């Protein structure tokens, strides 16, 4: 069984532990079989081998993909309501997930337009499909921007 550990400094539960400072790797017992991890400014995402996406940390702008009314911030990993995913990528205060069938889902703050859904400065607290992009193979997020590559070798940013 693959286990998940985190350590270092954290605000708002972004490393999954109550303590703000973790000096040695500490296990996050509720996360197992994690394939990849992506970290935003104060939020974290984990993708398991079954395509499930889990998140924790700050949710001020909906960057966890969970209603901001339900959760402001959390150190407990929550499963995000998404189709099976193959990749996750975080910006400062937003996240984009790539589903197994090549669709992109984004959420969080859309400051400067990194969500790919128009309407700048609008926050999305639940996953919204980027309908203008299909057959995506790869997505990567920077601080306030996003890139993706389609199976036709087209690059969008």
Q: Which CATH number characterizes residue 31's domain?
A: 2.130.10.30
Q: How far, in Å, CA of 61 to CA of 124, rounded?
A: 7
Per-residue pLDDT of the chain (157 residues; tens, 9 = 90+): 688 888 888 888 888 888 888 898 889 989 999 999 999 999 999 999 999 999 999 999 999 998 777 678 899 999 999 999 999 999 999 999 999 999 999 999 988 888 888 877 778 888 999 999 999 999 999 999 999 999 999 999 8
- Domain housing 43: 3-156
Report the relative pairing of strands 85-90 and 34-39 from DSSP bridges: unpaired
- Beta-carbon contacts of 76 under 8 Å, excluding residues fewer than 6 positions away, are 13, 16, 30, 56
Q: How far, in Å, CA of 41 to CA of 92, rounded?
A: 4
Q: How far, in Å, CA of 89 to CA of 116, rounded?
A: 14
- How many structural domains is the chain composed of? 1
Structure pTM? 0.92
């Amino acid at each position: 069984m693959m286990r998940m550990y985190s350590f270092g400094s954290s605000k708002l539960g972004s490393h999954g532990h109550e303590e703000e400072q973790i000096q040695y790797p500490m296990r996050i017992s509720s996360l197992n079989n994690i394939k990849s991890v992506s970290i935003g400014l104060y939020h974290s995402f984990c993708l398991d081998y079954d395509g499930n996406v889990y998140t924790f940390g700050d949710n001020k702008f909906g960057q966890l993909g969970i209603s901001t009314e339900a959760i402001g911030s959390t150190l407990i990993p929550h499963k995000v309501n998404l189709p099976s995913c193959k990749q996750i990528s975080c910006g400062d205060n937003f996240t984009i997930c790539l589903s197994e069938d090549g669709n992109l889902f984004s959420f969080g703050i859309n400051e400067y337009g990194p969500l790919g859904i128009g309407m700048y400065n609008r926050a999305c607290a639940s996953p919204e499909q980027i309908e203008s992009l299909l057959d995506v193979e790869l997505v990567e997020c920077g601080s306030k921007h996003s890139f993706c590559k389609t199976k036709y070798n087209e690059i969008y940013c």
